[in-house]
Structure 1
């Protein structure tokens, strides 16, 4: 097997069996496979054009065993998120089927052009944690009309794992008691992730909506809220934040 074919197969591992996202969200803890491309800023237009070519190819040939939602953060990172039941759900059949229907050379050429747009690609697993998630109206990854995202990464040291979780529970309890307008989903890091962490994702209509609702929440929670959040942040190994948006135009959902 030649090196180009090995690279071709590796690139296609980002495509995984796609179940009903809403149905799977009813489970206690849903796992997701994330493929992330760290795109060169100068290549963003070319990258998006190439991804859309791939989407058209999948739609044209009615590939049914793969799908994802797409997230684009403002540092030119693109993440493709697919629900899985286990690591065994990684299925090579999708690129075999696509190559058979569209032609191996056609598909390979798309990925060669895509590869030129980034130097780093990542693959890892995260787990939606319903216990820590605060979405009183029902859990969904894509609240209607709210494609803007703010993500908070809360990194945890092994020795402080229990303490951090206690603080996460305290935050949710406070939000629940006060009826906070800021709803959020919590994910736990899994296989291949960049260190042990919680990922807190908050949806909004846009940056202004996020900021105004955050101010409203601060006023609602008051001094108690500041104390609870301070306790959480002081227990972390490290913290980072990014903003971006869900990209419906880069999503793939089979019929």
Structure 2
């Protein structure tokens, strides 16, 4: 039994090491906190979120996050991290000490607004993203988002990645003006997926871009798209927006 436990621990450590090595090869890693807000509590949740942001500004909390909201009332707080060690940091420790009971009260009120929430890591895959101009995650004036999640079984990982590369090559060869970023699941996710994130000014602008891109890529585009679609288990589509008013970064000294 002792030998079995030792072997299990070694395997887990090896898995974590492999994950760390694979992620380090990517450009950016993000820790995501997701709140699945009850529709009936959205207004109250927004009020508390703005209150928390104001308190973070007041106390100059040593944290940073971008906030996104999906059309099904999910709120995402996305923080860039360098490595897994960043997860052990306590950026709100000084703020909590200064605020006393008020700090805990904010989170007690948050808890009434959702039935579930959690944390996980996503990785920005620059190799598969199509961003010829090198645009950053946050683009001024383009806060509307379309997100496409493509889930795939482990046995199809290589085929899906090859298909994603083929799609990028198609966009590049056609000089497409419809840019996209690719994110993939990281530590804490139970399923494998790629997420395609497309920015636009608003819903109308997004639809206009998509229609124009169909003409640019031409009728044969589905031959390339099928190199991905044929190997995924399902696809989910969401719309949403980035929320600069709920995002935060500390003052620079």
| TM bucket normalised to smaller | 0.7 to 0.9
Q: TM-score, normalised by structure 1?
A: 0.86
SS at match of 1:94: coil
Output the CA distance in 2 between the equivalents of 1:150 and 1:93.
Answer: 32
Give the Å deviation of 1:164: 0.5
Q: Deviations over 1:127-155 (max 9, x none)?
A: 10010000001131112210000001011
Give the structure 2 partner of residue 45 of structure 1.
43
Give the Å deviation of 1:194: 4.2
Give the structure 1 partner of residue 188 of structure 2.
192
Give the structure 2 partner of residue 78 of structure 1.
75
Q: Residues 145 and 239 of structure 2 are in contact (CA less than 8 Å); yes or no, is this contact kept in structure 1? A: yes
Q: Residues 53 and 248 of structure 2 are in contact (CA less than 8 Å); yes or no, is this contact kept in structure 1? A: yes
Q: Deviations over 1:34-78 (max 9, x none)?
A: 000000000000001001111111111122x20100000010000
1:29 aligns with 2:50: no
Give the structure 1 partner of residue 210 of structure 2.
214
Give the structure 1 partner of residue 21 of structure 2.
none
Give the structure 2 partner of residue 175 of structure 1.
171
Counterpart of 2:102 (choices 103, 106, 127) is: 106
SS at match of 1:173: helix
Output the CA distance in 2 between the equivalents of 1:149 and 1:212.
Answer: 14
SS at match of 1:93: coil
Output the CA distance in 1 between the equivalents of 2:84 and 2:113.
Answer: 28
1:248 aligns with 2:244: yes
Over the aligned positions, Cα root-mean-square deviation in angstroms equals: 1.2
Q: Deviations over 1:71-119 (max 9, x none)?
A: 000100000000011221024432321112222x000000000000001
Count residues in correspondence: 227
1:162 aligns with 2:162: no
Larger-Rg structure: 2
Give the Å deviation of 1:29: 2.0
SS at match of 1:142: coil
Give the Å deviation of 1:231: 2.8
Unaligned runs of 5+ in 1: 1-26
Give the Å deviation of 1:28: 4.3
Runs of 4+ in 1 over 4 A off after TM superposition: none
Output the CA distance in 2 between the equivalents of 1:58 and 1:91.
Answer: 19
Q: Residues 63 and 92 of structure 2 are in contact (CA less than 8 Å); yes or no, is this contact kept in structure 1? A: no
Output the CA distance in 2 between the equivalents of 1:31 and 1:113.
Answer: 30
Unaligned runs of 5+ in 2: 1-24
Q: TM-score, normalised by structure 2?
A: 0.87
